[in-house]
Structure 1
Amino acid sequence: MGRITIQNLSKTYINRRRFPRGDDDPQVRQGERITVLKDINLEIENGEMVCFLGPSGCGKSTLLRIIAGFEPACGGVVQVNGQPVTGPSADHIFVFQHSGLFPWMTVAENVGLGLRHLKNHHSRQAQVTEFIEMVELEGFEHHYPRQLSGGMQRRAELARALAVNPDIMIMDEPFSGLDFLTHMKMREEVVNMHAFIRKTMLLVTHNIDDALIMGDHIVILGSSPTAVTMDRILDFPRPRNFEKSPELGRLRSELFLMLGINYAV
């Protein structure tokens, strides 16, 4: 299960500055405190796909790293299934913005990393094949990452993450750097995959259309220090089409304005 509760979460960084102290021995002094997140409160239900939007530098990725257990919070609490997050867990898989595939391993070997606990070789290979087929990489099992396109690398990463069978999959801008057509294809695949596996998925994006087409739940972070400016469940039927759903189109225009863009221009 992957139910997430975030209560009064805050995160503050302290700048540290170096000053000469003589004899080429710098002195490190504490600088100003920078509050990145302040009083974040969210309820994320099991099986939801939640898309986080907000301007660059607002703390979206920081929030995901705290949920994943990679960074401690300075205040408040994050709970998964009623238990506080105290560090990374195999139940919370993070798909990073840039390729995290091991370059010396083939696609099959990368995907098989999460199945090392299976002692039966044939059972392990059957599951590796199943996850590779799920992301439509049949025929590329023995290719290395350098031999794959950017979109294929992302699909291989998704297969590796799914093989671990996590309760929560966290993705930080998974489509960045992809060409337009590959981006659209990957978006469709993630939506279909989520409908099939029904895992809790958290996704940071700068693309409003991605959030509205993919998300069950949308969260917008803004202001300074960062707080939640919108927390909304998206109950539009799928597949979603802006032209056929005036309400979805109006929400799209509202989100552009919230993020400082006059889309009519």
Structure 2
Amino acid sequence: MGHIQISGLNKEFVNRRKTRREEDLAPFGQTVPVLEDINIEIEDGEMVCFLGPSGCGKSTLMRIVAGFDHQTSGSVIIDGKAITGPSSDNIFVFQHSGLLPWMTVWQNVELGLRKIENQDEKCEKIQEYIEMVELDGFEEHYPHQLSGGMLRRAEIARALVVNPDILIMDEPFSGLDFLTHMKLREEVVNMHQYLGKTILIVTHDIDDALVMGDRIIVFSRRPSQIKLNRKLDFSHPRNFFKKDTELAKLRDELFFMLGVNYAV
């Protein structure tokens, strides 16, 4: 399960900043349109990557889907039910580390299984997901003892252990070094192929979207509308450095669409 239907969604914020700034789109007390008439259908098991300029509302849309925020109008329907608030079926992995610093990796992952009373079953599931993200041997380590990539993997394990229908990740590779970024990106692709979860990823990295996504959605500047909604029918692993391929052409198109005149 994990079918998402977003229909006619609009989101406005009220400008509550009394001191006017040049970038303000509306005076104090007036509304600022962020998302305008967003219509998206995401199939069960799809990995969808969202691209767009900074501040266009990508993360806002993800918070609405996760139930942490509410649209001004329109609807978000997941598996036939309207979203009215957060749910363990829709797990959000935030851009910055959400691990509790006073808890070990094991204890952080265990948070999602508080309702399981059978200790043997609980321990088995915790160990399964820690091993899935290759953190076995680090169960008793605290977050400050982990590298950036290990922190991300621990967060993913904590999210997946509750067996959500939908996993939402906001800039999951931000702040990572290049090699860790590449390795973790590969792990997310492999995990998706193995688990078949619906995964929504907000990213500014076009290459990440091309390597991982079953579908790419590109937003315009505010008030944001959908500029591109394209399914990627390319097998994994993907290589966009081969010139004159459809994937390489799409890469050039995306760079141009986002305001960068760049060619491979």
TM-score bracket for the superposition, by shorter chain length: over 0.9
Task: Label 1:32 to 1:174 Cα distance change in 2 as closer, same or farther (>3 A).
Answer: same
2:126 alignment counterpart: 128
Match of 1:185 among 179, 183, 186: 183
Match of 2:142 among 132, 141, 144: 144
Q: Residues 208-232 of structure 1, C-alpha deviation per residue, up to 9 Å, x if partnerless?
A: 0000000001100013310000001
User: Which range moved further: 154-163 or 114-123?
Assistant: 114-123
Matched residues, percent identical? 64
2:9 alignment counterpart: 9
2:159 alignment counterpart: 161
Matched to 1:178, the amino acid is: L
Q: Residues 105-147 of structure 1, C-alpha deviation per residue, up to 9 Å, x if partnerless?
A: 1001111111122211111111111100000001000000000
1:79 alignment counterpart: 77
Gaps of 5+ in 2: 20-26
Q: Which has more radius of gyration?
A: 1
Q: Residues 221-250 of structure 1, C-alpha deviation per residue, up to 9 Å, x if partnerless?
A: 013310000001111011101134711000
User: Are 1:96 and 2:68 matched, yes or no?
Assistant: no
Aligned residues: 256
Q: Quote how far apart the aligned CAs of 1:17 are.
A: 4.7
Matched to 1:259, the amino acid is: L
**2:7 alignment partner, SS class:** strand
Matched to 1:254, the amino acid is: E
Distance in 1 (alpha carbons) for counterparts of 2:53 and 2:5: 23
Higher strand share: 1
Contact 2:90 2:166 in 1 (8 A): yes
Q: Residues 73-116 of structure 1, C-alpha deviation per residue, up to 9 Å, x if partnerless?
A: 00100000111111111100000000000111100111111112
Q: Quote how far apart the aligned CAs of 1:30 are.
A: 5.2
1:64 alignment counterpart: 62
2:24 alignment counterpart: none
- Runs of 4 or more off by more than 3 Å in structure 1? none
Distance in 2 (alpha carbons) for counterparts of 1:87 and 1:17: 27
Q: Quote how far apart the aligned CAs of 1:18 are.
A: 4.5
Q: Residues 43-65 of structure 1, C-alpha deviation per residue, up to 9 Å, x if partnerless?
A: 00000000000010000000000
Distance in 2 (alpha carbons) for counterparts of 1:224 and 1:204: 16
The normalised TM-score by structure 2 is 0.94
Distance in 2 (alpha carbons) for counterparts of 1:17 and 1:209: 36
Gaps of 5+ in 1: 20-28
Match of 2:38 among 4, 19, 40: 40
Distance in 2 (alpha carbons) for counterparts of 1:112 and 1:16: 39
Q: Quote how far apart the aligned CAs of 1:14 are.
A: 1.1
1:239 alignment counterpart: 237
2:256 alignment counterpart: 257
User: Are 1:216 and 2:214 matched, yes or no?
Assistant: yes
Q: Quote how far apart the aligned CAs of 1:171 are.
A: 0.4
| Structure 2 counterparts to residues 15-54 of structure 1, below 5 A | 15-18=15-18, 31-54=29-52
Distance in 2 (alpha carbons) for counterparts of 1:235 and 1:147: 40
